[in-house]
Amino acid sequence: MKQKIPVTVLSGYLGAGKTTLLNHLLSNKQNLKIGVLVNDMSEINIDAQLVEQGGLKRTDEKLIQLENGCICCTLREDLIVEIDKLADLDIDYILVESTGISEPIPVAQSFTLQEDVLGIDLSAKTRLDTMVTVVDAGSFWHDYQSGETLLDRQQEAVEEDEREISDLLLDQIEFADVILLNKIDQLVQEEVNQLYSLLHTLNPDAAIHQTTYGKISPDLVLDTNTFSFEKASQSAGWVKELNHEHIPETEEYGIASFVYRNRRPFHPERWMNWLEQWPKEVVRSKGFFWLASRPNTSGLLSQAGQSLTLEAAGPWVAAYSEEDQKQLRAEDSELDSRWHPVFGDRMTEIVFIGIKMNEEKIMHELDLCLLTDEEIKQDFTALEDPLPAFV
Ligand SMILES: Nc1nc2c(ncn2[C@@H]2O[C@H](COP(=O)(O)OP(=O)(O)OP(=O)(O)O)[C@@H](O)[C@H]2O)c(=O)[nH]1
């Protein structure tokens, strides 16, 4: 049986340098026969000749453009179909350049879902080897702090695409096995170092390389054997912090992270006021919170640059029937160990990652958002709640 063909996926925002990297890899691939999949959302300037030199016979089949320019939803289907075709060719490796606005998880899932989708099981023929994210060092801060959506920039994948650019950049960074901090020629070394430290804090498991024009040794991005869905989903810095794996601070650049934990609920109005004056030094924040007025549902806060979302993260176990609570606690020792005699599993745990944050001040301000000793004795679930409904 033919061995599974390893696949490297290149992600990164528009113009970060994915195509430049792809061409560099094709020029330096030595004896590897590489099949390439790009999509036609942006202009394609892949040097087709380079693919031909790789021993593929018909360029058409090697350089497959996805018909539908959107990888995040419908294109996943196309991806599966086109990769399936590539995998039947005489090639050793597949390189996929996803569009600058694609989310990495659906792409990864197309390879890892072990079931027939459209009558194809990609996981039987291919093996997702490496997720590479190219970060544009020169425009990272501009894009991240812009507060713009893809719609504002007319880069939407579907009509009304309200995804914030900062959220997309973070998804791509947090899910990567390898991050290329590209275009470092556009910054001074001090700025590069700071960005490098930040990327490391956002994704401590990723290998990070500094590049210009995607010039990197191919063995650092091809056949690295680093992708695993489990690992990729757990590699974000905020996940590690929540799991008590503190990320060492890089004091030189003031990049740090900490967790705010408390077993009292937030007062809705005070919490909302605080959210409205979000500290600018916080670059990334994510975690769960307990809102006094919503005793049944845990809230999930996610902030990336200027984008802040609050959504429901599921019911608190403490809102279940006594019988269900008992059973769940018996099945889950971790849940049982943090069970509070009155409040059960309700609590707040939020990770903050940022640059030169005033941890003490943030902690203190958050403490002031909690219910007071007086308030906690009242029926706090009836408190006025100006926050939007959870999505
Ligand atoms: N200064 C500088 N420019 C670079 C570097 N790498 C790529 N570029 C330029 O950046 C521009 C965009 O590069 P591409 O490789 O097309 O970027 P891309 O990510 O494929 O872009 P899309 O396909 O539009 O998403 C091109 O003009 C490249 O020549 C670099 O390291 N430094």
Question: pLDDT digit string (tens) for 164-210?
Answer: 788 888 989 999 999 999 999 999 999 999 999 999 999 999 999 99
Q: What is the DSSP string of 219-275?
A: GGTSS-----HHHHHH-SHHHHHHTT-PPPPBGGGTEEEEEEEESSPBPHHHHHHHH
Nearest atom, ligand 1, residue 16 CA: 19
Ligand 1 centroid distance, CA of 97 (Å)? 13
Domains of the chain: 5-235 (3.40.50.300), 251-382 (3.30.1220.10)
Query: Is the model's pLDDT at 299 over the cut of 70?
Result: yes
251: CB partners within 8 A, 6+ apart: none
Per-residue pLDDT tens over the stretch 300-348:
999 988 889 999 998 999 999 999 999 999 999 989 999 999 999 999 9
Task: Give the helix/strand (H/E) hosting 283.
Answer: strand 282-289
Residue owning the nearest CA to atom 2 of ligand 1:
183
Which tokens is 375 given? 């308030």
Site to probe by mutation for ligand 1, drawn from 14, 20, 65 as the one with most ligand atoms within 8 Å of Cβ, is: 20
Nearest atom, ligand 1, residue 97 CA: 20
Ligand 1 centroid distance, CA of 67 (Å)? 23
Report the alpha-carbon distance of residue 253 to residue 132 in Å, rounded: 25
pLDDT over 70 for what percent of the chain?
A: 83
- DSSP annotation of 63: E
Report the alpha-carbon distance of residue 144 to residue 142 in Å, rounded: 6
> Are the C-beta atoms of residues 13 and 206 closer than 8 Å to each other?
no
Report the alpha-carbon distance of residue 222 to residue 34 in Å, rounded: 10
Ligand 1 centroid distance, CA of 40 (Å)? 16
Beta bridge partners of 96: 9, 37
Answer yes or no: is the C-beta of 265 below 6 A from any ligand 1 atom: no
Residue 101 is predicted with a pLDDT of 66
Residue owning the nearest CA to atom 23 of ligand 1:
42
Q: What is the DSSP string of 168-221?
A: HHHHHHHT-SEEEEE-GGGS-HHHHHHHHHHHHHH-TTSEEEE-STT---GGGT
- DSSP annotation of 16: S
Query: Is the model's pLDDT at 255 over the cut of 50?
Result: yes
Match 């026969």 to its residue by tokens: 33
Ligand 1 centroid distance, CA of 180 (Å)? 12
Nearest atom, ligand 1, residue 12 CA: 19
Answer yes or no: is the C-beta of 212 below 6 A from any ligand 1 atom: yes
> Are the C-beta atoms of residues 357 and 241 closer than 8 Å to each other?
no
Report the alpha-carbon distance of residue 381 to residue 338 in Å, rounded: 22
- State if pTM tops 0.90: no
Residue 205 is predicted with a pLDDT of 92
Can you state the percent helix, strand and coil of the chain, rounding each to 5?
35, 25, 40
Per-residue pLDDT tens over the stretch 363-379:
999 999 999 999 999 99
Nearest atom, ligand 1, residue 44 CA: 23
Residue 226 is predicted with a pLDDT of 93
Which tokens is 285 given? 């924040």
Residue 115 is predicted with a pLDDT of 56
Per-residue pLDDT tens over the stretch 44-54:
455 555 553 33
ipTM greater than cut 0.85: yes
Report the alpha-carbon distance of residue 26 to residue 218 in Å, rounded: 9
Distances (CA, A) of 149 to 17, 41, 223, 307: 21, 18, 35, 9
Residue 100 is predicted with a pLDDT of 64
Residue 47 is predicted with a pLDDT of 53
Nearest atom, ligand 1, residue 13 CA: 25
Residue owning the nearest CA to atom 13 of ligand 1:
17
> Are the C-beta atoms of residues 148 and 165 closer than 8 Å to each other?
yes
